Amino acid sequence: MRLIIATKNESKTEEIKNILSDVSFEIVSLDDLSDEFEIDEDGNTFYENAKKKALTVSQVHSNDYVVGEDSGLCVQHLQEAPGIYSKRYSGKDSTDSKNNLKLLNQLKEVSSENRIAKFICWLVLAKKGKEIARFQGELKGLIHNKLEGANGFGYDPLFFLPEFNKTTAQLEPKQKNKISHRYRAFIKLKKFLTENI
């Protein structure tokens, strides 16, 4: 059986493959398919975007299971921004670097203890254009006052975990994969797949 991860983000795909390494599915991403999917993430929530990705791809690849995933960073002081706009926070030509610099700039007057944030991940599992199940994962932390660490991607160099005294970009990938918001959502998916499919 094949499980399609509805993303073209290589870093995300690699992280997901590591988490699901022992499930009895062939795991592929949109990059492995011959189709060209242009999915406009126009939902108002992570769940809506994840569902749209899953249903769109599963309508075309109806014999496969498809996982739509949407995740991002929510900062309490910024009324949960960047939220669903995490990837394109700094505008049309956004990059991880530009997004991180914008976030640092917006929080420059905010004290460490008030930089409360969380990573959120929503997953939707679909087949034949219908939702089968949904899962959510969260990781709570703080926004650091400078970029630190070379691992990970996105906001990892700024996402500080007090219990480790490190950013998620300073954690070893194996360590991060055992605590991340994505891990917490995908471990629920893994349990569902193992017990139900």
User: For 29-64, what is each residue's pLDDT tens digit?
Assistant: 999 988 888 888 899 999 999 999 999 999 999 999
pLDDT single digits (tens) 77-129: 999 999 999 999 999 899 999 999 999 999 999 999 999 999 999 999 999 99
Q: Specify the higher pLDDT residue, 138 or 177.
A: 138
- Does the active-site annotation cover 70? yes
Question: pTM for this one?
Answer: 0.92
Domains of the chain, each with CATH number or no CATH:
2-196 (3.90.950.10)
Q: Is 81 exposed, middle or buried (0-12, 13-18, 19+ CB in 10 A)?
A: middle
What does the alpha-carbon distance between residue 75 and residue 60 come to, in Å, rounded to a whole number? 36
* Active-site residue (options: 22, 31, 35, 70): 70
Ranking 8-12, 67-71, 85-89, 118-122 by mean pLDDT, the lowest is 8-12
Task: Name the token pair of 101.
Answer: 């610099």
What's the angle, vertex CA 17, arms to CA 147 and CA 135, rounded to 5? 85
Give me the residue label for tokens 């691992």. 151
pLDDT single digits (tens) 133-159: 999 999 999 999 999 999 989 999 999
Q: Specify the higher pLDDT residue, 74 or 152.
A: 74
pLDDT greater than 90 at residue 68: yes
